[in-house]
Amino acid sequence: MASNLKGKRIAIVATDGFEQSELMEPRKALDEAGAKTEVISPRDGQIKGWKMKNWGEDVKVDKTLENANPHEYDAVVLPGGVMNPDRLRMDPKVVNFVRQFVATGKPVGAICHGPWTLIEAGAVTGKTMTSWPSVKTDLKNAGANWVDQEVAIDGQFITSRKPDDIPAFSRALIDAIARGSQRAAA
């Protein structure tokens, strides 16, 4: 994935129970493209991943939500898993951070159950999105147009279904961030 995202800051909002591949693999792709990724979480220290059916690796939290300003980032990524987005959507500070970020118009990536937080933030009405199949009805009830494809792009939103879609999700995210940079330079 050749792209130069040097100088771009990407917030990855997560907590315990994030699907490990859905945080680690897009993060690696973004870092390799030159971006600086930061894991933002409601709590300090480490958060624990979920790897398919068991607990996975710990990931260092770079910044707590209390110390993070959504306007300082060029994109935000919302990894899935079931536990992670379910916890995040119930935290008013997370929902406020995501709502403020969406208002910037910058790229928002969400995979698997990650769109739950976007639903809670009131950001999906009229948007074409994809997700893990069990989130389909939630998205539709919130006013989104749900599609079954590896990546759905609608304006600033880049959504994906599952770990198998991560390469396409990562490419679309990198392309969106790079296009944002080109628009800003024009």
Query: What are the backbone angles phi and psi of residue 119, rounded to the nearest 5°?
Result: -60, -50
pLDDT at res. 180? 80
pLDDT at 185 > cutoff 80: no
Please give the angle made by the CA atoms of 95, 119 and 146, to the nearest 5 degrees: 155
Catalytic residue check, 71: no
Q: How far is it, in rounded angstroms, from Cα 33 to Cα 55?
A: 28
Residue 171 confidence (pLDDT) above 60:
yes
Predicted confidence (pLDDT) at residue 152 exceeds the cutoff of 60: yes
CATH number assigned to the domain covering 9-179: 3.40.50.880
* Residue 2 in this model has a pLDDT that exceeds 70: no
The active-site residue, picked from 39, 102, 110, 112, is 112
Prediction pTM value: 0.95
User: How far is the C-alpha of 71 from the C-alpha of 45, rounded, in Å?
Assistant: 23
Question: Residues 27, 113, 136, 162: which is the catalytic one?
Answer: 113
